[in-house]
Structure 1
Amino acid sequence: MRREAFTVGWICALQHELAASRAMLDEEFNTIENHSSLDDNVYTWGALGGHNVVMACLSAGKFGTESAATVAKDMLRSFPSIRFGLMVGIGGGVPSETDDIRLGDVVVSKPTDVHGGVIQYDFGKILPNGAFQRKGHMNKPPAILLNAMQKIQSTHEMHGSKLQTHLLRMRERFPAMRDYYESPGSDNDHLFSSDYGPMTSSDHESKKPTEIRRLPRSTTEPCIHYGLIASGSKVMASAEDRDRLRKENRILCFEMEAAGLMDSFPCLAIRGISDYADVYKQDKWQKFAAATAAAYARELLGTIPTWQVETTAKAEDQYFPYQPQSRAVPANPTRDPSVSFVDNHLPLDRNRHHDLEQKDCRFSYGSSSLRSC
Structure 2
Amino acid sequence: MPGEVTIGIVTAIAVELATVRAVLDEVRDLRVAGDPGHYCVGALPSADEGTPHRVAAVMLTRDGTRNAAAAVVDMARSFPSMRVVVMCGIAAGLPAAGVRLGDVVSATQGIVDYGHLRATNGYRELRRASGDISTRLLAADNQLAVGQHRGQRPWEPVLATLERANATFRRPSPEGGPPLVHRGAIGSADVLLRDEGLRDGLADAHGIIAFEMEGSGISVGAALHGREWFMVRGVSDLADDRKNDGWHGCAAAGAAAYVRALLGVVQPVPAVEKAAGRPGRVAALALIVEAMLAVRLVRDEHERRLLVDELPTYIRSVIAYSPTARTHVISIVRACEGFEEGRAALLAAVGLLLGAETAEFAHLEETVRQNWNGV
Aligned pair partner of 1:290 in 249, 252, 255:
252
- 1:135-166, CA deviations, whole angstroms, 9 ceiling, x for partnerless residues? 11111112211111111111222133123210
Q: Which structure's CA Rg is the greater one?
A: 2
Say which SS state the counterpart of residue 161 (structure 1) adopts.
coil
Q: How many residues align?
A: 302
Q: Which residue of structure 2 lines up, in the alignment, with residue 15 of structure 1?
A: 14
Q: Residue 172 of structure 2 aligns to which amino acid in structure 1? A: P
Change in 2 beyond 3 A, CA 1:42/1:325: farther
Higher RCO (Cα < 8 Å, 6 or more apart):
1
Q: Which residue of structure 2 lines up, in the alignment, with residue 200 of structure 1?
A: none
Q: Which residue of structure 2 lines up, in the alignment, with residue 243 of structure 1?
A: 200
Task: Name stretches of at least 5 consecutive residues in structure 1 with no aligned partner.
Answer: 112-116, 188-216, 354-373
Distance in 2, Cα, partners of 1:55 & 1:327: 30
* Shift, 1:344, TM fit: 4.3
* Shift, 1:71, TM fit: 0.7
Query: Relative to total residues, which structure has the larger helix share, 1 or 2?
Result: 2
Q: Which residue of structure 1 lines up, in the alignment, with residue 305 of structure 2?
A: 335
Say which SS state the counterpart of residue 323 (structure 1) adopts.
helix
Task: Name stretches of at least 5 consecutive residues in structure 2 with no aligned partner.
Answer: 46-51, 223-227, 294-298, 310-316, 340-375
Bigger drift between 73-82 and 260-269 goes to: 260-269
Change in 2 beyond 3 A, CA 1:126/1:222: same
Aligned pair partner of 1:58 in 56, 60, 64:
60
Q: Are 1:180 and 2:174 counterparts?
A: no
What's the TM-score, normalizing by structure 1? Answer: 0.73
* Shift, 1:273, TM fit: 0.3
Say which SS state the counterpart of residue 4 (structure 1) adopts.
coil
Q: Which residue of structure 1 lines up, in the alignment, with residue 335 of structure 2?
A: 350
Q: Residue 184 of structure 1 aligns to which amino acid in structure 2? A: P
Q: Which residue of structure 1 lines up, in the alignment, with residue 181 of structure 2?
A: 224
* Shift, 1:26, TM fit: 1.7
Q: Which residue of structure 1 lines up, in the alignment, with residue 355 of structure 2?
A: none
What's the TM-score, normalizing by structure 2? Answer: 0.73
Say which SS state the counterpart of residue 5 (structure 1) adopts.
coil
Aligned pair partner of 2:107 in 109, 117, 123:
109
Contact 2:86–2:230 (CA under 8 A) maintained in structure 1 = yes
Contact 1:45–1:54 (CA under 8 A) maintained in structure 2 = yes
Distance in 2, Cα, partners of 1:41 & 1:304: 27
Contact 2:104–2:234 (CA under 8 A) maintained in structure 1 = yes
Give matches, 1:20-35, under 5 Å.
Answer: 20-31=19-30, 35=32
Contact 1:9–1:85 (CA under 8 A) maintained in structure 2 = yes
Give matches, 1:32-111, under 5 Å.
Answer: 35-37=32-34, 39-49=35-45, 50-59=52-61, 62-96=62-96, 99-111=97-109
Q: Which residue of structure 2 lines up, in the alignment, with residue 144 of structure 1?
A: 136
Contact 1:264–1:319 (CA under 8 A) maintained in structure 2 = no
Q: Which residue of structure 2 lines up, in the alignment, with residue 169 of structure 1?
A: 161
Q: Residue 46 of structure 1 aligns to which amino acid in structure 2? A: G
Identical pairs, percent: 29
Change in 2 beyond 3 A, CA 1:77/1:222: same
Q: Residue 26 of structure 2 aligns to which amino acid in structure 1? A: E
- 1:75-115, CA deviations, whole angstroms, 9 ceiling, x for partnerless residues? 1011000010110000000121xx2110000111112xxxx
Change in 2 beyond 3 A, CA 1:341/1:301: closer
- 1:204-261, CA deviations, whole angstroms, 9 ceiling, x for partnerless residues? xxxxxxxxxxxxx5xx110111100000011111100110111112210000000002
